[in-house]
Chain A
């Protein structure tokens, strides 16, 4: 726990269902140092959103079984009373979501929703809270905030709504902000604005951020470190440069080659990963990625099918879950 603000250790999240147990997250571990940004990347169903909701304590305890440790500034959130975690939500740690239209309550004015967020954590009067709400809206670049504060969500554009969500998440000055696909539901031009805004605000406030996304462009722009998740596991973890330029896991390789890049001259077609993400109820044996892996023929004895690889160190601070990594720093 040296200097990490958020440390997730051996996080497991299971959802028992009638068809069997869904192992949404199976032993995820990572840490984020104060003020930095970590990205969690993966396809749908890789466990990245569930990881975020487990950190926030947002998973329904009647549906999800969560185990492991989530240390926030040294406190294990999974050991805390639910009501104590509730008090930390929105004040110490905040979260913004993918679709700002459905994430804001359609029947309440945005000002009222912001005021509510303030007053649940701070003992201030309604008018003080309203002033804070207007300030918060101004800070996220909403024009004429003293008028906009009385708007309903449906009266704002998508980008403005996400700004409202960000204002609401930051209004109590949290130390940790988790952004779950913050730009996915937005227009491309607006995406860039929102990313710039988040980075600008982080610079001002020093908030630690975890950004969950499948957009590798967002990752490259925002994150210092990256976790790549697949089948509920972290399959590669390292600095953004490690992930982009010293890719050590075939799945990450597949992700990178399935999007166009401007920094490389490419003449070939985009190269998507064949197949579909695995069923989280009946995971493949061995390496969870082996049925879709193009490199498995390079591993002897069909080891990929029979033995799940450990997260092995590629270089200091860069790990990958692949039999091709020899654990002594050699790349595959």
Chain B
């Protein structure tokens, strides 16, 4: 097991390296001329060229990538003399539009995104799995039909539409909640909850629909398996048969989906963050597209991708924990 984890971590690091290169090259192919965009108020051809040299954009893509990569470990100084900008290690690039290290910008936005993702994750996972089990047990009954029907609607709703409808009714029409204004929970817990409750619920409903359907079909499949009959033949109470034997067997795909969904959410729920004006990674990504800042885009993309890769690793390790047959091979 230890060797397995070690091997997977090494593969993960290799994958991250390849990924960072791909992302870096991809964004350097963008038509935007960063040197022109960030040269300052008075741009002459000369200042643009100087800026280009300062940013290292005169070098080849490979050299630039090497500078980017080494900056993560040893930091980097842009330019020389008085106008020099020092980006200390770990340096994930420097935002010249915001005059801040990219990593700092990301870390600043990350808590919001983490709170949003984790809150919704807990809600949709518990809600979705419980509804799915209930639905499977009432298979064919009106409860099952109602849940499956609602889940289908929830699954098909686009988040921008659903989010806006919720804002319109809950905040504007019925005025149950104030307009969202994000505060960190350690600054103003009440304001935090008031702002987050709607995006949590909207995300939870959108995702729970999928988990309800997945859990239901998984349960229906495992409930017909032979070892479930054995569990009943042993005289186990039905709640043990379902909550332990059937659920454990049907868990694998749920864990996979949940891991990847959590990683995706940690990369920023772009649409919902925009709708509810939450200062998370998603809105950071949007603002660096509308007000072009390539270094932020590279940073956010890399962080998001890292989450996905780590989630994959965690899911695979969980697999081995859940299913002993995986451990053997």
Q: Give Cα A137–Cα B236 distance, bound, in whole angstroms.
A: 20
Nearest CB of B to A76, in Å: 19
Contact, CB under 8 Å: A87 / B229: no
What A residues does B245 contact at CB under 8 A? 105
Smallest Cβ-Cβ distance to A172: which chain B residue:
B235
Nearest CB of A to B227, in Å: 4
How many of A's residues come within 8 Å of B, CB to CB?
31
Q: Give Cα A59–Cα B233 distance, bound, in whole angstroms.
A: 11
Smallest Cβ-Cβ distance to A85: which chain B residue:
B235
Interface string of A92-115 (1 = CB under 8 A from B): 001101010011111111000000
Q: Give Cα A120–Cα B226 distance, bound, in whole angstroms.
A: 19
Contact, CB under 8 Å: B233 / A58: yes
Q: How would you classify the secondary structure of chain B's contact residues: helix, strand, loop or mixed?
A: helix
What B residues does A294 contact at CB under 8 A? none
Smallest Cβ-Cβ distance to A104: which chain B residue:
B227
Nearest CB of B to A120, in Å: 5
Interface string of A167-185 (1 = CB under 8 A from B): 0110000000000000000
User: Is B231 engaged at the interface, CB distance under 8 Å to the other chain?
Assistant: yes
What A residues does B234 contact at CB under 8 A? 89-90, 116-117, 120, 168
| Contact of A102 (CB < 8 Å), options: B225, B235, B237 | B225
Q: Give Cα A165–Cα B235 distance, bound, in whole angstroms.
A: 14
Contact, CB under 8 Å: A87 / B227: no
What B residues does A83 contact at CB under 8 A? 237
Q: Give Cα A245–Cα B177 distance, bound, in whole angstroms.
A: 86
Q: Give Cα A77–Cα B14 distance, bound, in whole angstroms.
A: 63
B204-251 residues at the A interface, CB under 8 angstroms? 225-227, 229-238, 240, 245, 248-249
Q: Give Cα A104–Cα B325 distance, bound, in whole angstroms.
A: 13
What B residues does A165 contact at CB under 8 A? 230
Question: Could you show 21 A-B contacts with beta carbons less than 8 Å apart?
Answer: A58-B229, A58-B232, A58-B233, A87-B235, A88-B235, A89-B235, A90-B234, A90-B235, A91-B235, A97-B226, A97-B230, A102-B225, A103-B227, A104-B227, A105-B231, A106-B227, A106-B324, A117-B234, A120-B234, A152-B324, A154-B328
**Residue positions of B touching A, CB distance < 8 A:** 225-227, 229-238, 240, 245, 248-249, 322-325, 328
Q: A107-B249, A168-B230 are in contact. List 7 more A-B contacts (CB 8 A).
A: A89-B233, A90-B233, A102-B225, A105-B227, A107-B323, A121-B235, A154-B324
